[in-house]
Amino acid sequence: MMKHSIPLRALSVLLQYPEPEVISHLSEISQALQDIPKLSKKVKTGLDSFAGHIQSTDIYELQEEYVECFDRGRATSLHLFEHVHGDSRERGQAMVDLLQTYKDGGMELSANELPDHLSVILEFASTLPIEQSKQFIGEMAHILNAVYSTLVGRNNRYAWLIAAAIEFSGEKVKIVELKIEEKSMDEEWEEPPAFDGCSTRGQSKPGEEQTLHFVKPTKELKGVQP
């Protein structure tokens, strides 16, 4: 087992719908999170705060919070391809490509799992050698920063989990706004490019220009911002 595997799996579990079984093992999961490589002290403290909230909150309230946070609106969706493809044909192709990447890596998904959910992405990353794992997550850092930024704006504790994933990848945690480019009708019906890591439009390869617009936060957001 690689050193980063268990911490990434712990992060993956906490980004799933809260279940009683997870809460019963929260102490071990919380400890594993602290072993994520290269985390800043502030993010580690934030993860402890998140774990404390989970521990002290009724399971039904936690489940309601999760649904309210991630299942109502695209801005904080954990299905990362929604942020750049929406419901377009390109998202379908990107999903097929990502499924093939998982299959090539020896990972099979259950029928009810979608490949672009962050918890699934982290689970797969946990099976890769650390440098490949960091690169795989880093290719999606621009999307993660957009989700993180929205959560910070809502002072939501889940922002710490997103920040931990970004820091693990080696990318910088920052406040951004993700903008989707408008396309002409001809561009909309073009065949999407072949998958290469996360090279489908919206998950650009490292070094390629990302469609981001950087903005300053409107006020000091205490509690969840590294």
pLDDT tens track for 139-186: 999 999 999 999 999 999 999 999 999 999 999 999 887 654 444 434
Is 174 a domain residue? yes
> What pLDDT, on a 0 to 100 scale, did the predictor assign at position 72?
82
Is the pTM of the predicted complex or chain greater than 0.85?
no
Containing structural domain, residue 118: 5-214
Which pair of structure tokens corresponds to residue 225?
A: 């911002």
Interior/surface letters 17-50, b for 16+ CB within 10 angstroms, e for the rest: ebeeebeeebeebbebbeebeebeeebbebbeeb
Residue 33: band (very low, low, confident or very high) from pLDDT cuts 50, 70, 90: very high
> What long-range pairs does 66-72 form, CB within 8 A, spacing at least 24?
66/17, 66/18, 67/17, 69/151, 69/154, 69/156, 69/158, 70/158
Is 34 a domain residue? yes
> What pLDDT, on a 0 to 100 scale, did the predictor assign at position 187?
45
> What pLDDT, on a 0 to 100 scale, did the predictor assign at position 58?
96
Is 63 a domain residue? yes
Query: pLDDT for 82-139, tens place per residue?
Result: 887 666 667 778 888 889 999 999 998 887 788 999 999 999 999 999 999 999 999 9
Instruction: Please give the tally of structural domains in the chain.
Output: 1
Is 51 a domain residue? yes
Is 40 a domain residue? yes
Q: Which residue has the higher pLDDT, 183 or 79?
A: 79
Q: Which residue has the higher pLDDT, 159 or 219?
A: 159
Does 206 have pLDDT greater than 60? no
Does 200 have pLDDT greater than 90? no
Query: pLDDT for 41-65, tens place per residue?
Result: 999 999 999 999 999 999 999 999 9
Is 222 a domain residue? no
Asked if 48 contacts 30 with a C-beta cutoff of 8 angstroms, the reply is yes
Distant-in-sequence, close-in-space partners of 119: CB < 8 Å, separation ≥ 6 = 12, 13, 15, 16, 78
> What pLDDT, on a 0 to 100 scale, did the predictor assign at position 93?
82
Is 219 a domain residue? no
Q: Which residue has the higher pLDDT, 221 or 132?
A: 132
> What pLDDT, on a 0 to 100 scale, did the predictor assign at position 87?
65
Q: What stretch of H or E contains 176?
A: strand 176-178
